[in-house]
Amino acid sequence: MNILVLGGGAFGTAIANELSVNTENNVVLFSRSQKKVDEINTYHSNKSCFPNKRLTKSLSATSDKNEIKKSDVVFIALPSNVIIENLLVLKSYFNKEALFVNLSKGLFSEGVTVVECIQEKLGITNIVTLKGPSFAVEVMEHADTLLTLGYSTNLQYEVINKIIKNTSLHIDCTSDIRGVEVLSVLKNIYALVLGVVDAKYNSPNTRFMILTKAFSETRILLKSLGGADDTLFLSCGFGDLCMTSLNDLSRNRTLGLLIGKGFFSSEYKSNSVILEGLNAVNLVHSLPLNHILDNLPLLNKLHSFFDSKSSIFSLEFNKLIDIKFKTILTYGTFDLLHYGHLDILRRASLLGDKLIVGISTDDFNELKGKTSVLSYQKRKELLESLDYVDKVIPEDSWGQKANDIKDNNVDVFVMGSDWEGKFDELEKFCKVVYFPRTKGISTTKLKSILDE
């Protein structure tokens, strides 16, 4: 199989070198630098990335764009800030049947992932992502490495599985491509924090206290940004977060160590490593995270530090860690359960630890002049089957909400924006939040479609 790796940097070189171990692969490394191409082809080395390493003799390099046309699989190992402009230049040379594999890590404005941007800007649909705990120097040493493949078709999985055969690369898998992409950015943020903690405290107890909190915040952000919960437990999640946070080969952890020792200054912000960490923190913090920012004290602390131009990063553990267990309450009929319902329940669940849902009983619906397609019991069973929902209670009357809040120790009351202002009196018991409704969908609309 003809494989092209775009990008002659450390990780691109390491992956190309490892893939060339499989004799069934014809691997070519593409670089715009003719000097680097000549070095790889003549001396089997890339000294700018690996001064003391030899590449496999079966790996070749090229700067000839016409060689791209022969590729069955294209690995993208370019810096995320130049990836789109480079791919647009090469677009006319890509084989229309080629499978693209994104190795690059980053998020664009409004939380758009690299894969999503490639799909939109280049019209490429046959694309997967491959991420996980993997230092380039370790891959060059042929260390066994587990990566997460985010894919959408069985054929894509089969192709990747075939080309990593007889190499030190292994894969776990998910169809949650967005989640894999998002996690590759989030782990860098929390690696910064762990570096600070290790530099300031040098305590295993403190380190793993903060790591636990970092894992919790990563989960909240992953779900809020559209990723699946289970993806966090794959190589791209738990594995990459731990490796990046706890190993001194990590650039972001090293930056955290410098900050923790007081060596960071605003004058260093032109440094590419610092810019990478700074940009990741600022971008994620600027996303529309609705009401969940209160549950992200580590992210908030890091953002405030970079924003203040201070050289001292201080941590107040009571404020960071000792956070009260939060119970969330919402109400609805939830007839003909649809993605609008799921979206508001998902967002409500992110505000705390336990989500209680009150659903209108059949008798209460009759009092309101409403008729449900599904009975109360069926609607209750549907809601109880959702991971987002912890408890379902009956709603028998308009006036029971205050008592439900007190009886269940509720911290946040959530309703859709079409009820905005109508439950403000409950603020004397708990926080009241109104979520915007999901556009384009409603139970009434579904019923009218079914009637037709």
Q: Where do the structural domains in the chain lie, given as residue ranges?
A: 2-175, 179-321, 327-451
pLDDT at 278 > cutoff 90: no
> What whole-number distance in Å separates Cα of residue 417 and Cα of residue 206?
41
pLDDT at 442 > cutoff 90: no
Cβ neighbors of 56 (< 8 A, separation 6 or more) are 17, 20, 21, 44
Specify the DSSP class assigned to residue 236.
I
Question: What is the overall mean pLDDT for the chain?
Answer: 90
- From 368, 378, 406, 422, the catalytic residue: 368
- From 65, 165, 370, 378, the catalytic residue: 370
Answer whether 179-321 and 327-451 agree in fold: no
- Residues 368-394 have a mean pLDDT of 91
pLDDT band per the 50, 70, 90 thresholds, residue 400: very high
pLDDT at 311 (0 to 100): 66
pLDDT at 323 > cutoff 80: no
pLDDT at 451 (0 to 100): 46
Where does residue 16 rank: exposed (0-12), middle (13-18), buried (19+ CB within 10 A)?
buried
- Residues 255-260 have a mean pLDDT of 90
pLDDT at 275 > cutoff 70: no
Name which residue leads in pLDDT, 199 or 313. Answer: 199
pLDDT band per the 50, 70, 90 thresholds, residue 306: confident
Closest CA to 117 of 209, 207, 65, 181: 181
Sequence letter at residue 54: R
Residue 268 Cα distances to 131, 151, 250, 264, angstroms = 29, 39, 18, 7
Q: Give me the sheet containing 431-435, strands edge to edge.
A: 391-395, 354-360, 327-332, 412-416, 431-435
Q: CA neighbours within 13 Å on the CB side: how many for 52?
A: 2
Pairing of strands 127-131, 145-150: antiparallel
For residue range 200-257, list pLDDT tens digits in order.
999 999 999 999 999 999 999 999 899 999 999 999 999 999 999 999 999 999 989 9
pLDDT band per the 50, 70, 90 thresholds, residue 344: confident
pLDDT at 6 > cutoff 80: yes
Here the tokens at position 325 are 């267990």
pLDDT at 370 > cutoff 90: no
> What whole-number distance in Å separates Cα of residue 276 and Cα of residue 257?
15
For residue 328, which phi and psi values (nearest 5 degrees)? -110, 145
Q: Give me the sheet containing 127-131, strands edge to edge.
A: 60-62, 26-30, 2-6, 73-76, 99-102, 127-131, 145-150, 169-174
pLDDT band per the 50, 70, 90 thresholds, residue 127: very high
pLDDT at 448 (0 to 100): 45
pLDDT band per the 50, 70, 90 thresholds, residue 59: very high
> What whole-number distance in Å separates Cα of residue 356 and Cα of residue 372?
21
Active site annotation includes 368: yes
Pairing of strands 327-332, 169-174: unpaired
- 327-451 in CATH: which number? 3.40.50.620
Give the least confident one: 40-49, 152-161, 306-315: 306-315
- 179-321 in CATH: which number? 1.10.1040.10
pLDDT at 140 > cutoff 50: yes
Where does residue 328 rank: exposed (0-12), middle (13-18), buried (19+ CB within 10 A)?
buried
> What whole-number distance in Å separates Cα of residue 196 and Cα of residue 157?
39
State the architecture of 2-175 in CATH terms: 3-Layer(aba) Sandwich (3.40)
- Residues 356-371 have a mean pLDDT of 91
Active site annotation includes 301: no
